[in-house]
Amino acid sequence: MSGAGHLGRLSCAEVQDMAGEMGVGVLVGIERAAVLEHLEDCGSCRAVVEDMAELGDSLLLLGPEEEPPAGFESRLLQRAQEGGPAVARRRRRVAVSLAGLAVAALGATGLALGLAVSGGSGFQVVPASALHQVGGRKMAVAVLSDHGAAVGQAFLYSGSPSWLFMTVDSEVVHGPVTCEVETTSGATVVLGTFQVGGSYHAWGSTLAMAPDDIKTIRLVDATHRPVGSAAF
């Protein structure tokens, strides 16, 4: 795993020393990657870190309670009703087009970016940003990173439809993640949720907005903790 390489292999003592920071979710970048790498094949450290994570989460239960403003419930139900069907529709469309997209992406990137998709050493080899011409389509590439550590790569293709494709390193990112796009006008659009597993994980989605309007792509985990972002 290239991201953790700078720290080398951590000992159990080092990992358990870092477990407290890990437990409150503030261990980031290469340190986090190195700990996760160690946990892959160390059950006793995994138990300590899980314990710490549970403890860190339970701290939130001590937070103060407050009565929400009047009308909170009805406003929330209203928002849920407006947002619900739109989200469901978007998800279905993503699901049916996903297989085709992945094939198309592997085809297109296979020409210019074979190294990135097939794994190996590297995310850094691909120049970030700037729209390039690839097979008559405009394409942009950016490294997905978490506090300086590369966790994957995102590709933007403009066409009809335009779409986003990404590879995510499953050694660093685990479980279900949600992909959000921040547009140049400051709006946040949720593209979809997918499960990261296996080796490099690939995922794609069609875009309702123009690729030029995309400022940042963010991946968040099930607790909305950012696990990676890419700027275009």
Beta bridge partners of 218: 180, 229
- How many angstroms separate the CA atoms of 232 and 228, rounded? 14
User: CB-wise, 32 or 204, nearer to another protein?
Assistant: 32
Residue 42 interface partner, choices Zn ion, another protein, none, CB cut-off 5-8 Å depending on type: Zn ion
Give yes or no for residue 12 binding another protein (CB under 8 A).
Answer: no
The yes or no reply on residue 92 touching another protein (CB under 8 A) is no
Nearer to another protein, 24 or 112 (CB): 24
Mark residue 198 as left, alpha or beta (left: phi above 0; alpha: psi -120 to 50; beta: remaining).
left
The correct pick among 13, 40, 66, 186 for binding another protein (CB under 8 A) is 66
Site string for Zn ion, 29-68 (x = CB under 5 A): -------------x--x-----------------------
Q: Which of 8, 40, 41, 61 binds another protein (CB under 8 A)?
A: 61
Q: In angstroms, give the least distance from the CB of 10 to Zn ion.
A: 8
- Nearest distance, CB of residue 51 and another protein, angstroms: 7
Closest approach, Cβ 151 to Zn ion, in A, equals 22
User: Is 192 buried (19+), middle (13-18) or exposed (0-12) by CB count in 10 A?
Assistant: buried
Residue in this structure with the two tokens 């970030």, named with its chain if needed: 128
Q: Quick check: 22 and 32 in contact, CB under 8 A?
A: yes
The residues, ordered by sequence, that sit 6+ positions from 7 with a Cβ below 8 Å of its Cβ are 30, 31, 33, 34
Distance CA 54, CA 223 (A): 14
**C-beta of 57 vs 127, nearer to another protein:** 57
Please, what is the angle between helix 43-59 and helix 29-40, to 10°?
A: 130
Interface with another protein (CB under 8 A), residue from 8, 40, 65, 160: 65
Least Å distance, CB 95 to another protein, is 14
Q: Are 187 and 156 contacting, i.e. CB atoms less than 8 angstroms apart? A: no
User: Are 102 and 204 spatial neighbours (Cβ–Cβ below 8 Å)?
Assistant: yes
Q: Give contact residues for another protein (rule: CB under 8 A).
A: 17-21, 23-28, 51-69, 72-73, 75-77, 79-80, 83, 87, 147, 175-176, 178, 190, 193, 195, 220, 222-226
Q: Give contact residues for Zn ion (rule: CB under 5 A).
A: 12, 42, 45
